[in-house]
Structure 1
Amino acid sequence: MSERGPSKRRLSGASNGGSEGNAAGGGSGAAAGQWEGSGNAARIRGVNAGIMDEKVLELVFRTLNWDPQSLCVVARVSRRLRAVAERVLWRELCVSRAPRMVAALTGGAPASAPAAGRIGGGWPALAKLLLFCCGAAGAAVPGHFAPVSRFSKTSGRSFLSRRCARDLLYVSDPCEHAVAGAADDVGAYRGVFRGFMRSRTRAWLVGHRAPLEPRVRCPYCGARVWSMTAAGLAPRSASRRLGANDGCLEYFVCVSGHLHGSCWLARLSDSEGAGPDGSDADDASADEDDVGL
């Protein structure tokens, strides 16, 4: 017992930056101060260990094919896991689901280095936008995970007025929902701007003091929104692109650059405006990104 006591005291003093460390110029104290915890829980400050290692988590979720529901569960376990998810995992999910779209939104950064660009509203909001249809509140259509969605720059151009034609906007095909007692279906759609803070759309809205909607919030990031119909920035080409009845289209853009809206879809014959596979003929494959769960 007498031999172990001093040894323990010396270890304790070194780990706490004691007098011996101070006498040596503070080197031992500085090194010991980098360590937190003890035993298997010990780690160097700023370096993750075990399951908290970002690379380990990436490998785990890559094996799970970036399952969004599993990622949501993990992000709720602790603040540290939530921080890793927001910084790394949601970003990698977006890259795996829509690599070309992410590269365009981040200013042409390659998919292997998406952090070179910035995403308005953050990566969790973009991941939710890719995978979640927000439904249509006016028609009592609830939100839901969308098994497959197609986002297109060509569709986005149809939602831009001529004065804002240089902006880059991706918009999904409408997610169609049958409504009880209604002759037509409701189409819900969503989209995202690249660099919305520097866009002409935002400059026009701010410059003309377009009011923000008091009762509507972005379903993807929770930010306040502008009504593009009320602002006079909803071109008729958007209705034609969606196959919607005139005057039956409404969409909003939030301050982070996310778009969401709904419309009543007109009944089309088999020969109206569709290719043999049911898609519009002017869509090129390089212009699209198909997103699926």
Structure 2
Amino acid sequence: MLADGERSVRLLCGNVDADAAVAGPWGGGEGDGGGGGGGIAVPIRGVNAGIMDEQVLSLVFRALNWDPQALCVVARVSRRLRAVAERVLWRELCVSRAPRMVAALSGTNEAVARPGRIGGGWPALAKLLFFCCGAAGAAVPGHFAPVSRFSKTSGRSFLSRRCAGDLLYVSDPCEHAVAGAADDVGAYRGVFRGFMRSLTRAFLVAHRAPLEPRVRCPYCGARVWSMTAAGLAPRSACRRLGANEGRLQYFVCVSGHLHGSCWLARLSSSEGEHGADSDSDDKEDDGPVKL
């Protein structure tokens, strides 16, 4: 008998009967073979039928505009749905919402249906696109971000001169008011292309930078380096974020995900009008990634 959650998900397709769509490991339904049900099913090992079919699920979520919260719910229904989500759906969501960013990160010339590998995996990238990890030091919890904007121009501001050849996307800071504090906290995140071959990783490894003992990547769970402790946090990062000097920290995990926080400086009206960076390269990035 189907669990209520799985029955609801499978009924997303109106032309698929919930009970008939239950496929066993060979692809046939529960009533197939030796029981006198409807038609005759040919068992095909490793093939999912009905709503469990990858193409059907892709069509369902395309109709839902690749809603990340709905996909999170579906991925928790069963191990089989989670496997399909990890193999196909998270990738398709990323391609749909941030095609230029995905193309750049995966090394393809354009956003195609099957781009190359992504460091840390597609579920981690999808989480990074839509989830602000907050700021633990300021007791700011993580949350889904309604709108996020990622830019490789911002990413260049986070690279020291010795690592200027790397490609890094960084989001605009997600601003949070903190009770009892005069300034707001900005939380931001980002991702490197090909981090295993990056100049940043090479520097960290060559200089034996220690991994943080108590901090983990909020997107893939891997261990992280502190860029401020390693001396790889340039002053341009503070300027790009509009942060107070010396009140910024960020981490990069072994998979190439970046996360950090800063205390945002309060700007005068003249600074607000003239102090923001503007770079024509920003037009090469995707527009805001909306939840």
- Report TM bin, short chain: 0.7 to 0.9
SS in structure 2 of the partner of residue 44 of structure 1: coil
Partner of 2:160: 161
Partner of 1:206: 205
Letter in 1 for 2:247: C
Map of 1:81-160 to 2, 5 A cutoff? 81-115=81-115, 117-160=116-159
Alpha-carbon deviation of 1:48?
A: 2.1
Using the alignment, how far apart are the partners of 1:186 and 1:42 within structure 2?
59
Match of 1:280 among 277, 280, 286: 277
Partner of 1:10: none
Say whether the 8 Å CA contact 2:92–2:113 is kept in structure 1: no
Partner of 1:16: none
Partner of 1:189: 188
Letter in 1 for 2:105: L
Map of 1:1-293 to 2, 5 A cutoff? 38-39=32-33, 43-115=43-115, 117-272=116-271, 274=273, 280-283=277-280, 284-293=282-291
Give unmatched runs, 5+ long, in structure 2.
1-25, 34-38
Say whether the 8 Å CA contact 1:43–1:49 is kept in structure 2: no
1:164-212 deviation line (CA, Å, top 9, x unaligned): 0000000000000011111110000000000000000001101111000
Say whether the 8 Å CA contact 2:138–2:185 is kept in structure 1: yes
Say whether the 8 Å CA contact 2:28–2:49 is kept in structure 1: no
Residues 170 and 185 (structure 1 numbering): CA distance in 2 closer, same or farther, change over 3 Å?
Answer: same
**Which has the higher Rg, Structure 1 or Structure 2?**
1
SS in structure 1 of the partner of residue 201 of structure 2: helix
Q: Greater share of helix residues, 1 or 2?
A: 1
**TM-score, scaled to structure 1:** 0.83
**TM-score, scaled to structure 2:** 0.84
1:257-278 deviation line (CA, Å, top 9, x unaligned): 0000000000012322656xx9
Using the alignment, how far apart are the partners of 2:131 and 2:84 within structure 1?
22
Residues 187 and 47 (structure 1 numbering): CA distance in 2 closer, same or farther, change over 3 Å?
Answer: same
Say whether the 8 Å CA contact 1:102–1:114 is kept in structure 2: no
Say whether the 8 Å CA contact 1:164–1:201 is kept in structure 2: yes
Using the alignment, how far apart are the partners of 1:274 and 1:256 within structure 2?
38
SS in structure 1 of the partner of residue 150 of structure 2: strand
SS in structure 1 of the partner of residue 289 of structure 2: strand
Letter in 2 for 1:140: A
Using the alignment, how far apart are the partners of 1:105 and 1:93 within structure 2?
15
Residues 44 and 211 (structure 1 numbering): CA distance in 2 closer, same or farther, change over 3 Å?
Answer: same
1:82-128 deviation line (CA, Å, top 9, x unaligned): 1110011001111111110000000024322343x111110000000
Using the alignment, how far apart are the partners of 1:288 and 1:36 within structure 2?
43
Taking only the aligned residue pairs, the percentage that are identical comes to: 84
SS in structure 1 of the partner of residue 288 of structure 2: strand
1:116-150 deviation line (CA, Å, top 9, x unaligned): x1111100000000000000000000101000010
SS in structure 2 of the partner of residue 104 of structure 1: helix
Residues 60 and 287 (structure 1 numbering): CA distance in 2 closer, same or farther, change over 3 Å?
Answer: closer
Using the alignment, how far apart are the partners of 2:181 and 2:189 within structure 1?
23
Say whether the 8 Å CA contact 1:274–1:280 is kept in structure 2: no
Alpha-carbon deviation of 1:35?
A: 7.2
Alpha-carbon deviation of 1:157?
A: 0.2
Using the alignment, how far apart are the partners of 1:43 and 1:109 within structure 2?
39
Alpha-carbon deviation of 1:52?
A: 1.2
Residues 107 and 206 (structure 1 numbering): CA distance in 2 closer, same or farther, change over 3 Å?
Answer: same
